[in-house]
Structure 1
Amino acid sequence: MTLRLAVCFLSLLCAADAQPAQKSGKEESKTASVEGVVVNALTKEPIRRAEISVIARKPGQQMGAGPAGSAVTDAEGKFRVTELEEGSYLITIRRTGFVSPRGGSLSSALNLQLKAGQELKGLKYALTPQAVISGRVLDDEGEPVQNANVMSMIQRSVRGKRLWMPSGPGAQTNDKGEFRLTNVPAGKYVLTVQLWQPPAAVEGRPGQAAMGYVTSYYPGVTDIAQATPVETTAGSESSGFDISLKKVPVFKIRGRALNAEGQPIKDFFAAVVPREQLSYGATGRMIQRREDGSFEIANVPSGSWVLQVGTGRGGPMSSTEQQSASTVVEVNGQDVDGVEVRVRPPATIQGNVLIEAAPEEQKNILSTFMVSLVPDGPSFTMGNQPSRVQPDGSFAIKSNTSGRYLFNAYSSSATALYLASVRVGNQEYLGKPVDLSAGAAGPVKIIFRGDGGRITGSIELPSEDKPPSNTLVVLIPADPELRNSFMGRSAHPVDQNGGFSFDNVRPGEYYVAAASGAQYNVTEEVEQEKEFESKAVKVRVTAGGSGTVQLEPIVVAER
């Protein structure tokens, strides 16, 4: 499997202390430049052909926007990027064979504040070599298993819940059952194996359950809590991790997919996922349609499952017109027959987006907004597509799937606004899920305002130190419901001087903390640290107000 390019970097080792020279009025309009070196974090040797991107951090700019400047390191690991306008920038680095910090998005790269005409020199970045994990997948008789999907899983906090999440894309086994996981950061992992098309279960004797393969974990268990962790170090290649698939008693779920009138659906897709899903990315056991509306899902072990049926042949999210419905199925040591899932027409939810207390230019951007429905937690959803807001602020969004959802609205042009309120009927649902199981809810009123507050500050470090490049300042609502919702937290990287700012902050109480560490999601993990209570600062943001804080970094440890 080819090595992936790792985006971002691990740590800023040093930065220039030079201040921009005094410029005349004419020279003030000159562009800025940055230069530095990229080295191997283990050997300290320069890294050649590392790709550097300098991306402008403009309010409302989408992640896909092109870089303001770029360069490739030379044989000495040096780079220089010129023609940069005054402003805030993010540096990202990628090089085959080196990994990014977990969660390596633009928010974990170094933030640079540049003045007109400034020449920022002496930047030094260290990239860590990838780790590799290899082994084999074997069946219960010791034979190699081809086309099994192997992933390394890591446990993380997500919206207040501890979930096992893939640390990378995984790898498929070859004809010898061999797998090779590359681009793995140093850390502890659980190896999991899934068979997308498991062989047919072996039928037992009369009165005995069939035996079939299910998701397994290294070294050969079916309960993730009993798995043996695999630990890697930077640049290491760990081999010999053979995973044995286990057969367990499995059963069948049989039933029919019906439309709202009780007629069989000819084109449909069905799947089951664990009701208490402990990880993202599990796809369950799936079957395609049968024209008489009947289905049979095999290889289902005992447990509580969510059976979901969607119209169409292509599987989840294959069509904007797809509809789906779900029901809970309990499998208790025997086949389950007679399950009926009735798929109803999509519910249309109508509402309006309003903009208040904002300049006129911000009030005229309603048609740039999109409204979406966000599942409340891990979900196997089908077909809920965002809706464009009309120039008068009205929108109509279809809910093709029953369940609990949060309303969200967003626009890349809303550079000076914050989401202030989401009202469904007469109740406030900002950060709260709405139950759409009974059909359409509403009317919905989503309000944005332009009188948000501002929080600025800096990191307290000894004068000779510089902030690590993976330091993020995290803004966490004190309100538990907002804290655990998808919109609850925001994070910004510190600049080369340890400074940071949050603009257009919704009025309310917040905790502000500086989190440092190569974690997948330090914005969630920082609250688990003992130092959080002593080093996080509680602030109250008022409409149009501003405040300044100084923070001590909290190192987020591995768990």
Structure 2
Amino acid sequence: MRPKSPRLSLAHLLLSLILSLIALPLANAATAAAAQQPNPPEAKDAASIMGRVTRAGRPASGADVVLMPSEWSPQMNAIARAKADEDGRFRMRNVPPGRYYLSPVSPGFVFAGSDTSWWMPGQIINVTAGEELKDMDFALTRGGVISGRVLDPDGKPAVAQYVTIIHADLKERKKRQDNPSIHETDDRGVYRAWGLTPGRYFVYAGRSSENNYARGDNDAGVFYPQTFYPSATEEAQAKV
């Protein structure tokens, strides 16, 4: 193999040096321009929201915080979103004035605030033009779990049956607009409900003639009459 020409190698070296000298000022100019680029201006009436989210007393790093309209509708969308940093702190910018639900989201954990509704666990806030809301803090706790097994009249697993969990407290039930938590049994007749807020609950399987919350229909079309835990047919006889 013939050796490379020293002149060719030197020419390549000189060309590379020239290109480097040209590229360096351009890179410095681009960096300087980026550093001088101002942040996008906020809207004149925009507000900001700041706070902190904790899970069992510790910073909830990575937890989502969502700002939603205070009135539910099928077409509603989030007004703003933020993610908690390593210290659990979050900030929302450019929030338009209005009345909202500010809600933390962290699977397996719950917020049992006084403003919590059936569709949005969170806090109602009123945002005015240009306002800076601070200390919007949320202390999340691990949600409760209710699990069990449903058997048919022959003592066999009741498969693919709906199990409904409702608040025993009528005031709480009305607050959540009687919206139940519905779960389905597996092939062992086992069900498991998780992420429940603290409280007292009734559990029933099957359905009544008065509602269709728990249809209790499986693939074979089998359903059972409404039965409260442990074996009551009337809510007044149910145990929490």
TM-score of the superposed pair, with normalisation by structure 2? 0.62
| Distance in 2, Cα, partners of 1:135 & 1:213 | 17
| Distance in 2, Cα, partners of 1:150 & 1:217 | 10
Equivalent position to 1:119, from 120, 132, 136:
132
| Distance in 1, Cα, partners of 2:76 & 2:103 | 13
Percent of residue pairs identical: 26
1:91 aligns with 2:102: yes
8 A Cα contact 2:111 2:138, kept in partner: no
| Distance in 1, Cα, partners of 2:72 & 2:149 | 44
- Residues 113-512 of structure 1 correspond to what in structure 2 (within 5 A)? 113-116=127-130, 118-155=131-168, 156=170, 165=178, 167-168=180-181, 170-194=182-206, 195-197=216-218, 213-229=224-240
Query: Could you say which structure has the higher strand fraction?
Result: 1
Change (3 A) 1:104 1:47: farther
| Distance in 2, Cα, partners of 1:154 & 1:136 | 20
Change (3 A) 1:226 1:90: closer
8 A Cα contact 1:71 1:81, kept in partner: yes
- Between Structure 1 and Structure 2, whose CA radius of gyration is higher? 2
Query: Could you say which structure has the higher helix fraction?
Result: 2
| Distance in 2, Cα, partners of 1:180 & 1:28 | 47
1:31 aligns with 2:26: no
| Distance in 1, Cα, partners of 2:179 & 2:67 | 28
Equivalent position to 2:61, from 48, 51, 74:
48
Give CA-to-partner distance per residue, 1:318-365, whole Å, 9 cap, x none: xxxxxxxxxxxxxxxxxxxxxxxxxxxxxxxxxxxxxxxxxxxxxxxx
Gaps in structure 2 of 5+ consecutive residues: 1-41, 207-215
Give CA-to-partner distance per residue, 1:391-441, whole Å, 9 cap, x none: xxxxxxxxxxxxxxxxxxxxxxxxxxxxxxxxxxxxxxxxxxxxxxxxxxx
Q: Which amino acid aligns with 1:52?
A: V
| Distance in 2, Cα, partners of 1:30 & 1:213 | 57
Change (3 A) 1:167 1:99: farther
The Cα shift of 1:100 comes to 4.9
> RCO greater where, 1 or 2, for CA within 8 Å and sep 6 or more?
2
How many residue pairs are counted as aligned between the two chains? 183
Q: Please provide the CA RMSD for this pair.
A: 3.6
Change (3 A) 1:214 1:111: same
Runs of 4 or more consecutive aligned structure 1 residues displaced over 6 Å after TM superposition: 198-201
| Distance in 1, Cα, partners of 2:60 & 2:136 | 14
Change (3 A) 1:29 1:133: same
Instruction: Find the residue that maps to 2:236 and give its secondary structure.
Output: helix
Give CA-to-partner distance per residue, 1:256-277, whole Å, 9 cap, x none: xxxxxxxxxxxxxxxxxxxxxx
Gaps in structure 1 of 5+ consecutive residues: 1-26, 202-211, 230-559
Q: Which amino acid aligns with 1:190?
A: F
